[in-house]
Amino acid sequence: MPLCRSSVVTVAGLALVASLSTPAEAASAAPGRSPISTVTVGQGPSAPVASGTRLFVANAGDGTVSVIDAATTTVIATIAVGANPSTPAAGGGRVYVPVTGAGSIAVIDATALSVVATIAVGQSPATPLVASSTTVVVPNTGSGTVSIVDVTSNTVTATVPVGVGPGTPVAGTGSQYAAYGDTVFVPNAGSASVSILDLKTNTVTSTIVVGQAPGPPAVSPALSGWDQVYVPNAGSSTVTVLPQGPSGTPTSIPTGTGPVTPSQSVDGSFVLIPNAGDGTVTVFDNDANAVRGRLVVGRRPGPGASAANVNTVFVPNRGSGSIAVINARRGTLTATISVGPDPTTPAIVGSQLFVSSPSTGRVTFVDLSRRLWPTAPRGVAARAVRHGAVVSWRAPRSDGAAAVTRYVVTGSAGGTCSTKGTSCTVKGLRTGTRASFEVRARSSVATGLAGTSNRVRVR
């Protein structure tokens, strides 16, 4: 249930990223400089994690962490950590790297760029949660436990049994209940449950049954006025909504196939749920308590990312080699950026987006201050024909960062066509169907904004 709603002001310094909600007003492309570039890191890099203006990437294939300077987009250090490291977490000037092969956490000083401690935890640790300035919670996927680490002494102060196959937890947020900051929600993929862990006592206070194969949850933004935890159940095609507070009944949101960790609008009113199994994002409206629809984004979408206090979410499409740019406040697809094979969840530092490619051992940088994608095709018009429609348009006012090479047309009632020209026919529609059509321009860099036609009745 919603509580008091709070207004959110976009912070200074994020204007360039915020402008993605209205890309037609974004800055023109700077001549002579590509908005997308790459750098080689190690083998099998994880999703990048930011600490200040540095990015940390764990390389599973060679037991190292690559450190990238966001300003120069260069690798400035390579740190050995141990066998098979995975996606780290950052906080308090340190980076915590789960070393799966050794059952430990490597602690890196983000300024000195050196390992300051190696802490033995449980079997197959996953990405930890930096719960506070003194506490890190490490899920041990192979042990069915979480390790509570005191970061002032770099020691494990408690090992708490949870469920089978625990994954990355989240901490409560908000000001409605004093206990939020001491409550941690741990998803147990193998036992279809979430363990609620009290960090004051280091005990599980309750276990809530959710759907099959729950993954890492998302929690309502601290200033949103909502008090919910969203648990994606990949095996059940649902998201379980848990109350953060002391009372309330779990509810369920129907999704597409294989939902993963959701993202939210700044005010918490919209929840965006990527569905890895069917290439869509479910848009859930908290105010209306209803699913508004599903966006077709690309193959195998993964958990998205956004800059603080900005209503733009970037969802990686691992099967399509692209990033879907979604306006979280409107629940609409803005554009799709081409970034290369199997992109991970991105990280954003200033006006730069960073995304790893595990199969190529590279990190791609995208300059978000540039006008990357084409504006909408103009004058889109549809004319009904037998079992279809002829759709025509004029070229967009701007191509973005590269020349338009193709146009893609999608019907509201199904059907699609593509062409290098400015007209094509959508076929195979049923007689009597009423439909409108979206046209998007595509370049080597991105697929742009949609122009929408009039509505016609198929003959």
Residues in the chain: 459
- Average pLDDT over every residue of 73-92: 97
In 238-289 the beta strands, taken as DSSP E runs, fall at: 238-243, 251-254, 263-264, 270-275, 280-285
- Identify the bridge partners of residue 440 per DSSP, sorted by sequence position: 408, 450
pLDDT at 424: 97
Q: Which two tokens stand for residue 295?
A: 């966006």
Burial of 36: CB neighbours in 10 Å, binned 0-12, 13-18, 19+ = buried
Q: What is the mean pLDDT of residues 252-264?
A: 97
Tell the residue number behind the tokens 């363990």, with chain if given.
195
91 located within any domain: yes
Q: Is 23 helix (H, G, I), strand (E, B) or coil?
A: helix
Do 120 and 159 touch, CB atoms closer than 8 A?
no
Contact by Cβ (8 Å): 154, 107 = yes
End-to-end CA distance of the chain: 47
Weakest mean pLDDT among 221-230, 266-275, 279-288: 221-230
Q: What is the mean pLDDT of residues 370-387?
A: 96
Which CATH number does the domain housing residue 217 bear?
2.40.10
User: Do the Cβ atoms of 324 and 433 come closer than 8 Å?
Assistant: no
pLDDT band at 7 (very low <50, low <70, confident <90, very high): very low
Does residue 367 sit within a domain? no
- What CATH number is associated with residue 429? 2.60.40.10
Token duo for residue 354: 């960073």
Contacts of range 62-67, beta carbons closer than 8 Å, 24 or more positions apart? 63/99, 63/101, 65/95, 65/97, 65/106, 65/108, 66/41, 66/42, 66/363, 67/113
Contact yes or no for 373/89 (Cβ under 8 A) = no
Instruction: Say how far apart CA 82 and CA 120 lie, in whole Å.
Output: 12
- Judge whether residue 2 has pLDDT over 60: no
Q: Using the 3D structure, point to which of 161, 184, 218 is the last residue of a domain.
A: 161
Q: How many structural domains does the chain have? A: 4
Per-residue pLDDT, 174: 66
pLDDT in tens, 199-231: 999 999 989 999 999 999 999 887 677 778 999
Give the pLDDT score at 30. 42
Q: What is the mean pLDDT of residues 25-41?
A: 67
Q: Establish if 353 belongs to a structural domain.
A: no
Q: Say if residue 242 is in the same domain as residue 266.
A: no
User: Which of 129, 161, 193 is at the close of a domain?
Assistant: 161
Identify the residue with better confidence: 286 or 309: 286
pLDDT at res. 175: 56
| Strand order, beta sheet including 135-140 | 129-130, 135-140, 145-150, 155-161
Using CA atoms, how far apart are residues 212 and 191, in angstroms rounded to an integer? 8
From CA 116, how far away is CA 92, in angstroms rounded? 14
Q: pLDDT band at 308, cuts 50/70/90?
A: confident
What's residue 172's pLDDT?
A: 84
| Model confidence band, residue 330 (pLDDT cutoffs 50, 70, 90) | very high
Same domain for 268 and 293, yes or no, is yes
Same domain, 261 and 206: no
Residue 26 has pLDDT above 50, yes or no: no
The confidence score (pLDDT) of residue 261 equals 98
* Residues 341, 358 contacting (CB under 8 angstroms): no
Instruction: Quick: pLDDT tens for 94-131.
Output: 999 999 999 999 999 999 999 999 999 999 999 999 99
Cβ neighbours of 1 (radius 10 Å): 10
The stretch 225-250 carries a mean pLDDT of 87
Residues 221/307, Cβ–Cβ less than 8 Å: no
CB atoms near residue 31 (< 10 Å): 5
Same domain, 330 and 396: no
Q: Are residues 139 and 52 in the same domain?
A: yes
What is the Cα gyration radius of the chain? 23
Residue 13: pLDDT above 70?
A: no
* 356 within a domain of the structure (yes/no): no
Is there a single domain that holds both residue 39 and residue 82? yes
Residue 435: inside a domain, yes or no? yes
Model confidence at 27: pLDDT above 90: no
Instruction: Quick: pLDDT tens for 390-448.
Output: 999 999 999 999 999 999 999 999 999 999 999 999 999 999 999 999 999 999 999 99
Strand partners for 346: none
Do 56 and 142 sit in the same domain of this protein?
yes
Residues 331 and 350 sit within 8 Å (Cβ to Cβ): no
- Predicted pLDDT of residue 408: 97
Three-state DSSP class for residue 148: strand
- Identify the CATH number of the domain in which residue 329 sits: 2.40.10.480
The residue segments making up the domain with residue 280 are 257-343
Mean pLDDT, the chain, whole residue set: 90
Asked whether residue 29 carries a pLDDT value surpassing 90, the answer given is no
One domain for residues 79 and 129: yes
What mean pLDDT is predicted for residues 64-69?
98
- Please, what's the largest Cα pairwise distance for the chain? 74
Query: Which has the minimum average pLDDT: 88-102, 114-128, 164-178, 235-249?
Result: 164-178
Q: Are residues 208 and 100 in the same domain?
A: no
pLDDT-based confidence at residue 248 (cuts at 50, 70, 90): confident
